[in-house]
Structure 1
Amino acid sequence: MSDDNPREIGERIAAHRRARRLTQTALAVAAHVSYATVRSVERGARRPSDDVLEAIAGALGVDAAHLRTDYAGTERRVHQALPALSEAIVAYDLPMGPPTRPPRQLADEIATTTGWRLSAQYGRIANTIPNLLADAIRHVHTAPGADHHAAARMLASAARTADALAYKHGAHDLSARLIDLMRWAADRAADRLVQATSSYVRAETFLAVRAHAAGLVSLDRAVDAAPRPTGLREAATLGALHMRAAVMAGRAGNVDAADIHLSHARRLGDQVAREGAYLGTVFGPGSVRVHEVSVAVSLGPGHVDRALRAAHAWKPPIDLPAERSSGFYIELARAQEWAGRRTDAFASLKAARAVAPQHTREHPWAREVAKNLRRFHRSDAESLSHFARWVGAA
């Protein structure tokens, strides 16, 4: 039986509806569909069309891929948004008039898209980010002097969300241009924490081309330039840089550097104590644990025992954002597949999809592990074949 049969789709919709404390009637009103449609969909008597699914997902505040895992509309919307993003940033250094939104609305909408980024709701981001980014650029050029730094911080945040859309979907050239915009905005914000965050995001450009040694140099410089960890935001920002530097060192095969950066990240995670989003970057003890697994996997199959020890008897806490939790399960699946624990690897891939389906579907390691499992693993063959087709590994 497929993971996307009508009954299971209906159960997911009902679960999200109850979590939002909505009745079926209220959901129907919010989604602009009939009560009979909502009732029949939740009972599994009807498979929702793409239009109905998107309407219900919008009313529930989730990406449609969380309700139907084989939903392809998100990819379509993302790829339609990429040219619009290119157009929005082509003249970012030129004043092109005032924004269409007032500053307060602009700030609120940018904050909302940051939440969507952390929960891997790329379809929702794609619907709004091109125009939102264009307005953020216009605001930087037109904000009064007293508001200029705040406007630049808003632009850096919007550019980061746009970059997530581009980077996760393989548009690495556009991602690099968006990161350049983020760094441009960070310099104008005159805020060392925003500048440190832009260095954290810049590491993607090194990861994309596997320039790991150069990426480690860049992150080491960012660590040296970051503010000292005198408060929570400073500690979290510096800790995130150490986490990313540890992964970069792992990819470069530099075990000593990876261990040093992980040690600093653990200490700062203990200082922060609670998981949270700081300037749009999640940091805390749970994030450090995820990166311990990531570093071990980055070091390669020879360190699989280290990865499995780091993940042993641990699950991402509920306050960890969906994208990071999904990433943990994908990294763990890779280690389990290396160790010959193929049943466990498939279970981890399914856990990743349950947490953040779109992130999992776009992750190259999820495709790689699924492809290998399909080649060698024979139990649960129908479910595995369905997953492989879904992730693009068939």
Structure 2
Amino acid sequence: MTSADTPGPGKNVAILRKARDMSQAKLAREAGVSVSLLSKIEVGDRALNQGVAAALARAMGVGLNELLGQTRIQEDNDELLKQLRSTIRRFDLPGEPPNNPEILKSDLVELTRLRSDAKLREVLEKTPGLLAKATNFAHANGSPEAWAMVADIYSTIYWLAARHRWMDLADLAVLKQHAAAERANPLLKIVAARDEAGAFLNSGDFAGGLAIIERAVVQAEKLNGRDRALGLGLLHLRGLTLAGRAGDKKETERHIAAAWRVAEEFSEDVDVHGIHFGPENTAIHQIATTVDLEQHRTALDTMESLTRRPLTLPATRIGPLHMNVARAKLALGNRDDALESLVSAWEVAPQMSKVHPTSRELMRVLISLHKRSNPTLTKLAQRAGVTI
């Protein structure tokens, strides 16, 4: 599996700042944060959130992915990524289509399952070959259903690239996803817009991402029935995340309210082309965003309400949920419970936790704050490949 270039985003702030010969006072001033907060982030007394990270990255003239730490491509993954990029490059140069398209459908179901289980390595292994076969079939068949399979695979490629902060690949994936979705159906065009806004989110351009969402909402309003509800729901979830990272409470509340209005149309969460929407995922997004806005008690209250029933969503959603709960607990000074939640994230989604910037930042801060040995933290650090 891959590993990240930095031990934690907060530590990387100090590395990048010193490389640019910037004082803490100058960086804090240009990023619009206090010197005290910046100092705590750098030494590991405070976890860096992605809203502050984006402001610091802009002030230093670097990409958010560089500050958070792109996942280093190890030798065993390099060839797979070369194959994937080659296949993407040949989007308009189709080859021989597969003889049995039914196998394509079952392979896509398996790819979606691997994504839901947050099996990053296995997704990377399966994607290049499946993308080539699906693209060739779509060119030969020409049906909306065939192009829908291609669009779904590109959505997974975006997801994979975003998890590792390979933003050039994420940008390329959403470009091709749009092209395939145009030949598929209107709902998939909405999903493509949602992923495009995600690329803006992961690059730290929250205003740009919100502009993409607003444009797509206009298109989703034109859909009918279930497709309209699903499209609007997915867009408002992305919108509330973007607004929360931007620190815009009013816009965040607007998207939260809109997402809940749509979620009420669903008795339980549903899978939309590998992405989930419904009451549970809406609550999960709300928890993450209230933590971004430093409303930590509210986040934990929402978590308590959410867990009165067994959670049904897959690892790709539950893993980050535990990370965000850990952020809230840590901010409130409860280190032991924060560590317990981080351990839960690792148990649910170990591959994602190993490369996720929130997980790595929590690990760094917990190590810094635990001045004495903690057996649970020591064991988790060993799994993460972090030296205490």
TM-score (norm 2): 0.76
Are the structure 2 counterparts of residues 214 and 370 from structure 1 closer, same or farther at C-alpha, using a change threshold of 3 Å? same
Match of 1:30 in 2: none
Match of 1:325 in 2: 318
Aligned partner letter, 2:298 = R
Are the structure 2 counterparts of residues 339 and 163 from structure 1 closer, same or farther at C-alpha, using a change threshold of 3 Å? same
1:303-382 alignment runs, 5 A limit: 303-315=295-307, 317-378=310-371, 381-382=374-375
More deviation, 134-143/151-160: 134-143
Structure 2 gaps of 5+ residues are 1-72
Task: Say how many residue pairs are matched.
Answer: 314
Are the structure 2 counterparts of residues 229 and 91 from structure 1 closer, same or farther at C-alpha, using a change threshold of 3 Å? closer
1:165 pairs with 160, 164, 174, which one? 160
More deviation, 147-156/379-388: 379-388
Match of 1:71 in 2: none
Match of 1:295 in 2: 289
Match of 2:207 in 1: 213
Are the structure 2 counterparts of residues 392 and 222 from structure 1 closer, same or farther at C-alpha, using a change threshold of 3 Å? farther
Are the structure 2 counterparts of residues 228 and 352 from structure 1 closer, same or farther at C-alpha, using a change threshold of 3 Å? farther
1:198 & 1:97 partners in 2: Cα distance? 25
Aligned partner letter, 2:260 = R
Are the structure 2 counterparts of residues 393 and 101 from structure 1 closer, same or farther at C-alpha, using a change threshold of 3 Å? farther
Structure 1 gaps of 5+ residues are 1-73
Q: Is the 8 A contact 1:366 1:391 kept in 2?
A: no
Aligned partner letter, 1:137 = T
- Deviation, 1:110, is 1.2
1:1-394 alignment runs, 5 A limit: 78-94=77-93, 96-143=94-141, 147-189=142-184, 191-227=185-221, 230-299=224-293, 301=294, 303-315=295-307, 317-378=310-371, 381-394=374-387
1:367 & 1:354 partners in 2: Cα distance? 15
* Deviation by residue 1:263-319 (Cα, 9 ceiling, x = unmatched): 1111111111211202221011110110111111222x3x22332232235338442
- Deviation, 1:229, is 7.0
Q: Secondary structure at the match of 1:277?
A: strand
Q: Secondary structure at the match of 2:148?
A: helix
Aligned partner letter, 1:81 = L
Q: Calculate the aligned-residue CA RMSD, in Å.
A: 2.1
2:232 & 2:386 partners in 1: Cα distance? 37
2:164 & 2:76 partners in 1: Cα distance? 11
Aligned identity (percent) is 30
Q: Is the 8 A contact 2:174 2:196 kept in 1?
A: yes
